[in-house]
């Protein structure tokens, strides 16, 4: 399957709140998950980074996130995010929808995610540190929020030439 184009900063689809997938649309969900996989693999080969992607980034306004980690892949259908403690940390965040731009943001150290799998079973996962931050970033995409909207202040932006193709 060929990779989909990743929507870039400014595309109105990225600012929409995504719709939940219905059980009757599991075939569509499976296709979107395959498209997300192909797209992130292609992006990582081109730019050298990319650990996760949300369906809105390929123009699908549905609540699906796909994580492509070194040793494992995960997908989340209709995820619900819950912060399990108040501790936060700051980091320079990047995004496939604006490669090369990094934004200084605040994220929670730990979170709990409840979601559906392709068998329509309820699942949950606890994430912390880098994975918690990564999931929060992708979850924001489902709600039409980009990292640039989470910037700590107006000086919280920088260009990473290694990721921009500059």
Q: Does the annotation flag 141 for ligand binding? A: yes
Q: Is the pLDDT of residue 107 over 70?
A: yes
Mean pLDDT across 105-130: 98
Residue 115 lies in a domain: yes
Question: Is the pLDDT score of 67 beyond 80?
Answer: yes
- Asked if residue 1 belongs to a domain, the reply is no
User: Structure pTM?
Assistant: 0.94
- Domain of 82: which CATH number? 3.90.45.10
Active site residue 128: no
Query: Is 137 one of the annotated binding-site residues?
Result: yes
- Residue 4 domain-assigned? no
The residue range of the domain holding 133 is 12-164
pLDDT at 101: 95
Decide if pLDDT at 38 tops 60.
Answer: yes
Taking only the tens place, the pLDDT of each residue in 9-18 is 999 999 999 9
Was 123 annotated as part of a binding site?
no
Residue 83's DSSP bridge partners are 111
| Structural domains of the chain, count | 1
Of 77, 99, 96, 88, the closest CA to residue 24 belongs to: 77
Task: Tell me the three state secondary structure of residue 84.
Answer: coil
């Amino acid at each position: 399957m060929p990779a989909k184009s990743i929507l870039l900063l400014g595309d109105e689809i990225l600012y929409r709140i995504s719709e939940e997938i219905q059980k009757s649309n599991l075939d569509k969900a499976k296709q979107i998950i395959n498209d997300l996989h192909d797209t992130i693999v292609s992006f990582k080969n081109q730019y050298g980074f990319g650990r996760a992607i949300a369906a809105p980034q390929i123009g699908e306004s549905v609540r699906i996130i796909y994580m492509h980690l070194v040793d494992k892949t995960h997908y989340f259908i209709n995820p619900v995010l819950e912060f399990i403690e108040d501790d936060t940390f700051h980091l320079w965040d990047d995004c496939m929808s604006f490669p090369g731009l990094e934004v200084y943001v605040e994220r929670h150290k730990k979170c709990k995610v409840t979601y559906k799998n392709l068998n329509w079973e309820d699942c949950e996962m606890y994430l912390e540190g880098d994975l918690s931050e990564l999931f929060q970033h992708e979850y924001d995409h489902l709600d039409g929020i980009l990292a640039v909207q989470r910037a700590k202040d107006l000086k919280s932006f920088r260009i990473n030439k290694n990721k921009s193709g500059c």
